[in-house]
């Protein structure tokens, strides 16, 4: 008898809710103080970046440096958006990052599940192999990889940047595996006994329960793809296809840096990724379903 | 093989197939190529000359190889545990039901979103011995800050400091794990009269050991390959590859880069790469073996 | 089953999107009718790139057979990767003079002699030392588009305050001036008579100024000779040796950004410095109130024949061996090397032109004191580092040695002898 998937899911949710979460202690002044100190430390460079982006050129190099601008000006933002085709680059970056996230979400949980929950010979070897590929410094595979793409004539396109993520990235595979290892086996066994196919179990039970993990790798992959500089530079030939991180180099010249516009461009660069993070993190930290990383 | 086992075998392979195919298509070839190059004299453009183990023998006499390895080991051995420790502290602090928690998390994660070239140049400015904010803040405590980027003794600590700034990713993962410790355990511990430290030591920490292992392994791998920050910190203009004062910031990654792209000694660079692979493997193996002693899984 | 279908559909949709992407990129040059497209991949970015794009636009407007597309590729790993493939993705690019030998020896640069001969391109107008750097084993592999020389910059106000009437001409005078121009407040330095703008360039230039040679006639590296040792000694004896390595380092660690109003020379922290011609534009922009002057680099009093020594470095243009439109790229290169384009470009970048006939061009008049650097190119003592296949290795080892010397971990003799030993294994 095929198990009603709604029932399966409901049972999973009940199991999840039944385990009491660790009580989060109420805030006390000491904790707030610690939080504020931590935030200040992490924020300082970003605050410098932010305030510099509003400064006039002379103000940027005022000595001794002052944190806040003399006069708040939007000139740098204008310069930043003029120096490169900002919206085009933004669109390109969104495209590449979006596709990379899609590929990762499609492939990494699949492989992670195989390494965590399925029993088959070679499982350990594949895990070690995947880990091993992370241990070779990228500089020595950069050119052979490029030549490989060149041979099939795909350099100059977005494909080398995006296609590999559809086949899985070891870091995320390993992370998914750690998340999934602690998923309760009884749920899965019950479904198997009821005749559900492995794929169905994966799609209907495992993925929903792993939502926080999925959100985690989605956000991480997005940020990686968003900030990647070298790969887009190496594989793209047409500067109309460039991404934002390459655009940042417009503010570096032979002997110096155009600080004001660079900081403005960096703020513009960071904001969308930050927004994605804020949206995504709601999924992966609040209301975690699985027993997470144990 | 029984039918069930055969089916399981097939399923396992099927689910893992994306990566297996991807490995064969994308990763396997270049890895094999680099392994081959490590036994050759190869300048990227002309046919490689087979030289057997010469590259590896040359490493033994190469003082910059030793130097870069030691520098990198310093950064890894000091930076990775410190980073994990800080990430854990931050996660513990954030694991409170305080208002605006989402915002604090975003603040902690923010540094990892800032592109590395911008962040590094920003830090160059922040670490200036006279007017940089780091030393100005240190100065508040009445101490003279070091000449971070010019003193060979302080360049690596500067890089460690920059690394600590980006523990947001690790902290976020720890946070996820923390919120997953079942409350009943804390209640049981409290009933037994355990104080805050004991609760941490016997309830929280054991639950965090698996993710700690993951972060240690991943952190070591990344630490051994660290390249971008030292590369960008030691440049006096773009596209220069230098080692910093007294080669104190010559990391293994930078040295591989120099050999591959500046000196066009791709054969030697590949050999260096594979030695790094072995060293990283060895450290990871030690970590994984030791993990049986201190990692608690499940239940 | 349905799950399998859903998954399959997801992958197929992604595949379709990717197939679209494949079409999206990779602009092949449509050969046949229409202008031939030549891709010019350059390392310059920002304002310099914009100046270059203007020149490209002028070229495209001036004729209809060739259309040049400029692409800014600020990282040279991209250059190398593209040059290693079978079909080049760019036809012309830029590089630095002393890297020519390394790339030429590996067969990735197209020799230009045939094109030069066929068009009767006159190379006599080019500065000889620059042109020499372009050659490897007798063949020309690059052409210089912009040159750089080094001169002694001095702060007029600080010099007059110290009672020095004119900039030093001999190294002995310079040593005395440095002593007068270095000020201390207790243990701490408040002003240095001399500091290195960039230690590699400064010390190699000084090496030449003291009569040293970094290469011998046959292209072998010679780091350890009386001139080079004397140069290193000059620096050590007059700066860190006299005032203490720690004190000097504390002082220099507080220096502001090079290309900013806080450059130590602009704010009077350093009284004399050896630097390149772009300072004319930089100072005009960042420190217009500075009273400064340019003088030839001092020579040892016993060697008046070394007067007007300077080091010439070059920015070069090259055509990769795997370029697809070499002939058209050469046409464009000729344009860039032509007087009109060269003046425009070098002026925009505040670099020196590579043609001797342009050295007096009025276009540079708005760059303060630029003339001094221009005239330096005419000096018989304008030296350039040889462009050998192992030049990068040599440079790295020299910089290491200079660091050891400046921090007084080794004496000049020891450090340079150590480099000499290493040169034995260069290939």
- What is the SS3 assignment for C353? strand
Distance CA B229, CA B226 (A): 7
> Residue A294: what pLDDT?
31
Chain C's closest residue to B264, CA to CA, is C102
Chain B's closest residue to C83, CA to CA, is B45
Half-sphere exposure of A219 (CA within 13 A, CB side): 26
When scoring B4, B8, B9, B19 by the number of chain A Cβ atoms within 10 A, the one with the most, hence best to mutate, is: B19
> Residue A8: what pLDDT?
54
- What is the SS3 assignment for A114? helix
Which tens digits make up the pLDDT trace of C66-89?
A: 999 999 988 888 889 889 888 888
Contact B262 C258 (CB under 8 A): no
Contact C6 A58 (CB under 8 A): no
**Shared-domain flag, residues B99 and B237:** yes
**Average pLDDT over every residue of A232-240:** 90
DSSP chain B: --HHHHHHHHHHHHHHHHHHHHIIIIIHHHHHHHHHHTTEE--SSSPPEE-TTHHHHHHHH-HHHHHHHHHHHHHHHHHHHHHHHHHHHHHHHHSS--TTHHHHHHHHHGGGTS-HHHHHHHHHHHT-TTT-HHHHHHHHTT-PPP-TTT-HHHHHHHHHHHHHHTTHHHHHHHHHHHTTSBHHHHHHHHHTT--HHHHIIIIIHHHHHHHHHHHHHHHHHHHHT--HHHHHHT-SSTT-----GGGTT--HHHHHHIIIIIS--HHHHHHHHHHHHHHHHHHHHHHHHHHHHH-----
Contact B176 A292 (CB under 8 A): yes
- What is the SS3 assignment for A288? coil
- What is the SS3 assignment for C20? helix
The H-or-E segment that residue A43 falls in is helix A29-53
Is the per-residue pLDDT at A284 higher than 80?
Answer: no
Strands (E), C34-131: 36-42, 66-72, 92-96
Which tens digits make up the pLDDT trace of B57-68?
A: 999 999 999 999
Residue listed under structure tokens 């390394």: C102
**Shared-domain flag, residues B143 and B223:** yes
Is the per-residue pLDDT at B20 higher than 70?
Answer: yes
Closest by Cα among B91, B101, B105 to B181: B91
Residue listed under structure tokens 């302080």: B154
**Six-digit token pair at C42?**
């350059």
**Residue C175 contacts residue C382 (beta carbons within 8 Å):** no
pLDDT range class, residue A20, cuts 50, 70, 90: very low
> Residue B299: what pLDDT?
41
**Six-digit token pair at A28?**
């006390």
Contact B261 C75 (CB under 8 A): no
**Six-digit token pair at A279?**
């949206």
**Six-digit token pair at B63?**
């003082």
CATH 1.10.3720.10: which residues of chain A?
Answer: 85-285
**Shared-domain flag, residues B80 and B175:** yes
> Residue A291: what pLDDT?
38
Report the mean per-residue pLDDT for chain C: 90
Q: Which residues of C touch A58 (CB under 8 A)?
A: 261
Is the per-residue pLDDT at A22 higher than 70?
Answer: no
Contact C108 B245 (CB under 8 A): no
Question: How many other C-beta atoms can be found within 10 angstroms of the C-beta atom of residue A146?
Answer: 23
Residue of A120, A167, A277 lying closest to B19 (CB–CB): A167
Is the per-residue pLDDT at A290 higher than 50?
Answer: no
For helices B266-294 and B28-37, the axis angle rounded to 10 degrees is 120
> Residue A2: what pLDDT?
42
**Residue C108 contacts residue C320 (beta carbons within 8 Å):** yes
- Residues in chain C predicted with pLDDT less than 70, given as ranges, are 1-33
- What is the SS3 assignment for A17? helix
Is the per-residue pLDDT at B184 higher than 90?
Answer: no
ipTM beyond cut 0.85: yes
Residue listed under structure tokens 């032979």: A254
Residue listed under structure tokens 């870091």: A171
**Shared-domain flag, residues B164 and B29:** no
**Average pLDDT over every residue of B244-259:** 93
Q: Which residues of B touch C410 (CB under 8 A)?
A: none
Pairing of strands C352-353, C310-311: unpaired
Å between C197 CA and nearest CA of chain A: 11
**Shared-domain flag, residues B127 and B206:** yes
> Residue C30: what pLDDT?
47
Per CATH, domain C36-148+312-382 is 3.40.190.10 = yes
pTM: 0.89
**Shared-domain flag, residues B196 and B225:** yes
CATH 3.40.190.10: which residues of chain C?
Answer: 36-148+312-382, 162-311+385-423
Pairing of strands B49-50, B40-41: antiparallel
**Residue C215 contacts residue C423 (beta carbons within 8 Å):** no
**Average pLDDT over every residue of A42-56:** 92
Instruction: Give exposure, C212-221, as e/b (b: 16+ Cβ within 10 Å).
Output: bbbbeeeeeb
Distance CA A26, CA A222 (A): 33
**Shared-domain flag, residues B157 and B197:** yes
CATH code for the domain of B151: 1.10.3720.10
Q: How many beta-carbon contacts under 8 Å exist across B and C?
A: 66
**Shared-domain flag, residues B20 and B62:** no
What is A85-285's CATH number? Answer: 1.10.3720.10
**Shared-domain flag, residues B121 and B148:** yes
Contacts with A, C 79-108, CB within 8 Å: 80-82, 84-87, 89-90
**Shared-domain flag, residues B162 and B99:** yes
By the CB < 8 Å criterion, does A256 face chain C? yes
In a domain, B48, yes or no: no
Is the per-residue pLDDT at B199 higher than 50?
Answer: yes
**Residue C153 contacts residue C294 (beta carbons within 8 Å):** yes
Contact B148 C392 (CB under 8 A): no
Which tens digits make up the pLDDT trace of B67-121?
A: 999 999 999 999 999 999 999 988 888 887 677 777 888 888 899 889 888 999 9
Å between A71 CA and nearest CA of chain B: 21
Å between B135 CA and nearest CA of chain C: 11
Residue of A64, A139, A182 lying closest to B257 (CB–CB): A139
Distance CA C314, CA C351 (A): 10
Which tens digits make up the pLDDT trace of A245-270?
A: 999 988 887 777 888 999 999 999 99
Q: Which domain holds residue B79?
A: 53-294
Residue C298, sorted as left (phi over 0), alpha (psi -120 to 50) or beta, turns out to be beta
Half-sphere exposure of A18 (CA within 13 A, CB side): 6
Q: For residue C297, give the DSSP letter.
A: P
* Residue A289 neighbours by CB under 8 Å, 6+ apart: A12, A13, A16, A208, A209, A210, A211, A212
Distance CA C105, CA C119 (A): 25
- What is the SS3 assignment for C134? coil
The H-or-E segment that residue C140 falls in is strand C139-140
Sheet of C183-185: strands edge to edge? C183-185, C188-194, C270-276, C150-155, C292-295
Contact A159 C22 (CB under 8 A): yes
Chains with 3 or more CB pairs under 8 A to chain B: A, C
**Residue B124 contacts residue B149 (beta carbons within 8 Å):** yes
Q: Count Cβ atoms within 10 A of the Cβ of residue A236 and give its class: 0-12 exposed, 13-18 middle, 19 or more buried.
A: buried
Percent of chain B at pLDDT exceeding 70: 98
> Residue C129: what pLDDT?
86
- What is the SS3 assignment for A21? strand
Closest by Cα among A255, A218, A266 to A80: A266
Is the per-residue pLDDT at B298 higher than 60?
Answer: no
Is the per-residue pLDDT at A208 higher than 70?
Answer: yes
Strand partners, C62: none
Which tens digits make up the pLDDT trace of C98-134?
A: 889 999 999 999 999 999 999 999 899 999 888 988 9
**Shared-domain flag, residues B234 and B101:** yes
In a domain, B11, yes or no: yes
**Shared-domain flag, residues B139 and B193:** yes
**Average pLDDT over every residue of B202-223:** 88
**Six-digit token pair at A57?**
């050129």
Q: Which residues of B touch A116 (CB under 8 A)?
A: none
Contact A252 C71 (CB under 8 A): no
Chains with 3 or more CB pairs under 8 A to chain C: A, B
**Residue B153 contacts residue B247 (beta carbons within 8 Å):** no
Overall domain count for chain B: 2
Is the per-residue pLDDT at B171 higher than 60?
Answer: yes
Which tens digits make up the pLDDT trace of C230-251?
A: 999 999 999 999 999 999 999 9
Q: Which residues of C touch A150 (CB under 8 A)?
A: 85-87
* Omega before residue A64 within 30° of 0, cis: yes
- What is the SS3 assignment for A254? coil
Contacts with A, B 134-173, CB within 8 Å: 165, 168-169, 172-173
Closest by Cα among C355, C391, C351 to C373: C351
Residue of B15, B107, B269 lying closest to A111 (CB–CB): B15
Phi and psi (nearest 5°) for C72?
Answer: -85, 115
Closest by Cα among C263, A189, A230 to B261: A230
Distance CA C394, CA C400 (A): 10
Å between A35 CA and nearest CA of chain C: 32
What is C162-311+385-423's CATH number? Answer: 3.40.190.10
């Amino acid at each position: 008898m095929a198990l009603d998937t709604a029932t399966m899911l409901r049972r999973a949710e009940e199991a999840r809710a039944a385990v009491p979460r660790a009580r989060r202690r109420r805030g006390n002044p000491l904790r707030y103080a610690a939080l504020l100190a931590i935030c200040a430390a992490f924020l300082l460079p970003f605050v410098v970046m932010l305030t510099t982006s509003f400064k006039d050129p002379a103000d940027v190099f005022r000595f001794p440096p002052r944190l806040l601008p003399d006069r708040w000006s939007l000139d740098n933002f204008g310069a930043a958006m003029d120096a490169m085709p900002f919206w085009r680059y933004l669109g390109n970056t969104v495209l590449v990052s979006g596709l990379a996230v899609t590929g990762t979400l499609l492939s990494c949980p699949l492989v992670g599940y195989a390494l965590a929950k399925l029993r088959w010979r070679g499982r350990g070897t594949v895990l070690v192999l995947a880990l091993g590929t992370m241990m070779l410094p990228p500089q020595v595979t950069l050119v052979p990889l490029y030549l490989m793409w060149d041979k099939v004539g795909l350099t100059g396109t977005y494909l080398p940047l995006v296609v590999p993520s559809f086949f899985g990235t070891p870091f995320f595979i390993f992370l998914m595996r750690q998340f999934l290892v602690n998923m309760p086996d009884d749920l899965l066994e019950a479904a198997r006994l009821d005749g559900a196919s492995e794929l169905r179990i994966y799609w209907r039970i495992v993925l929903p329960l792993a939502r926080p993990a999925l959100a985690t790798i989605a956000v991480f992959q997005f940020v990686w793809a968003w900030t990647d500089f070298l790969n887009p530079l190496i594989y793209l030939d047409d500067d109309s296809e460039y991404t934002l991180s390459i655009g940042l180099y417009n503010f570096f010249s032979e002997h110096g840096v155009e600080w004001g516009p660079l900081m403005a461009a960096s703020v513009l660069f960071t904001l969308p990724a930050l927004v994605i993070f804020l949206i995504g993190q709601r999924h992966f930290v609040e209301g975690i379903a699985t027993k997470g990383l144990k | 093989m029984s039918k069930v086992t055969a089916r399981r075998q097939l399923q396992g392979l099927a689910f893992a197939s994306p990566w297996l195919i991807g490995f064969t298509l994308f990763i396997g070839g270049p890895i094999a190529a680099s392994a081959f190059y490590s036994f050759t004299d190869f300048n990227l453009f002309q046919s490689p000359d087979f030289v057997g183990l010469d590259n590896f023998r040359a490493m033994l006499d190469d003082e910059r190889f030793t130097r870069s390895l030691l520098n990198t080991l310093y950064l890894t051995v000091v930076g990775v545990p410190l980073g994990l420790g800080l990430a854990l502290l931050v996660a513990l602090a954030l694991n409170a039901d305080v208002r605006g928690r989402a915002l604090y998390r975003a603040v902690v994660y923010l540094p990892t979103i800032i592109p590395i070239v911008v962040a590094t140049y920003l830090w160059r400015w922040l670490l200036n011995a006279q007017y940089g904010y780091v030393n100005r803040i240190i100065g508040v405590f009445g101490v003279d800050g070091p000449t971070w980027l010019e003193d060979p003794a302080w360049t690596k600590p500067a890089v460690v400091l920059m690394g600590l700034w980006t523990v947001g990713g690790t902290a976020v993962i720890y946070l996820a794990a923390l919120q997953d410790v079942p409350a009943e355990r804390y209640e049981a511990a409290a009933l037994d009269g355990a104080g805050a430290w004991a609760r941490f030591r016997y309830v929280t920490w054991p639950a965090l050991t698996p993710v700690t292992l993951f972060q240690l392994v991943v952190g070591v791998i990344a630490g051994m390959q660290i390249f971008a920050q030292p590369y960008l910190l030691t440049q006096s203009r773009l596209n220069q590859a230098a080692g910093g004062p007294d080669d104190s910031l010559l990391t293994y990654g930078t040295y591989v880069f120099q050999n591959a792209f500046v000196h066009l000694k791709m054969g030697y660079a590949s050999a260096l790469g594979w030695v790094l692979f072995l060293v990283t493997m060895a450290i990871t193996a030690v970590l994984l073996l030791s993990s049986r002693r201190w990692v608690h899984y499940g239940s | 089953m349905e799950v399998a279908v859903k998954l399959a559909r997801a992958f197929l949709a992604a595949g379709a999107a990717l197939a679209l992407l494949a079409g999206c990129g990779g602009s092949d040059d449509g050969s046949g009718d229409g202008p031939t497209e030549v891709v010019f991949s350059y390392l310059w970015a920002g304002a310099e790139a914009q100046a270059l794009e203007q020149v490209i636009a002028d070229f495209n407007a001036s004729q209809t057979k060739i259309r040049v597309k400029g692409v800014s590729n600020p990282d040279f790993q991209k250059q190398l990767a593209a040059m290693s493939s079978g079909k080049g993705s760019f036809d012309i690019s830029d590089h630095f003079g002393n890297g020519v030998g390394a790339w030429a020896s590996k067969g990735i640069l197209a020799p230009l002699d045939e094109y030069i001969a066929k068009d009767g391109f006159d190379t006599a107008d080019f500065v000889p030392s620059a042109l020499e750097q372009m050659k490897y084993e007798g063949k020309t592999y690059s052409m210089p588009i912009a040159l750089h020389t080094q001169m002694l910059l001095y702060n007029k106000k600080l010099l007059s305050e110290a009672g020095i009437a004119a900039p030093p001409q001999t190294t002995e005078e310079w040593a005395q001036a440095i002593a007068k121009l270095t000020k201390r407040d207790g243990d701490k330095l408040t002003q240095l008579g001399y500091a290195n703008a960039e230690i590699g360039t400064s010390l190699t230039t000084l090496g030449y100024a003291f009569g040293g040679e970094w290469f011998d006639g046959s292209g072998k590296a010679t780091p350890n000779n009386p001139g080079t040792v004397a140069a290193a000694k000059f620096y050590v004896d007059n700066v860190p040796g006299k005032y203490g390595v720690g004190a000097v380092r504390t002082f220099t660690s507080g220096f502001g950004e090079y290309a900013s109003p806080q450059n130590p020379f602009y704010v009077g922290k350093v009284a004399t410095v050896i630097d390149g011609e772009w300072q004319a534009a930089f100072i005009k922009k960042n420190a217009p109130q500075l009273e400064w002057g340019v003088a030839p680099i001092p020579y040892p009093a016993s060697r008046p024949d070394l007067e007007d020594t300077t080091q010439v470095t070059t920015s070069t243009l090259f055509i990769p061996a795997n370029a697809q439109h070499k002939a058209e790229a050469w046409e464009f290169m000729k344009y860039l090397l032509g007087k009109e384009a060269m003046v425009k470009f070098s002026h925009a970048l505040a670099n020196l032109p590579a043609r001797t006939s342009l050295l007096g061009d009025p276009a540079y008049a708005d760059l303060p004191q630029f003339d001094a650097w221009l005239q330096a190119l005419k000096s018989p003592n304008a030296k350039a580092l040889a462009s050998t296949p192992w030049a990068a290795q040599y440079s790295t080892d020299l910089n290491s040695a200079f660091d050891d010397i400046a921090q007084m971990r080794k004496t000049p003799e020891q450090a340079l002898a150590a480099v000499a030993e290493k040169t034995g294994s260069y290939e």
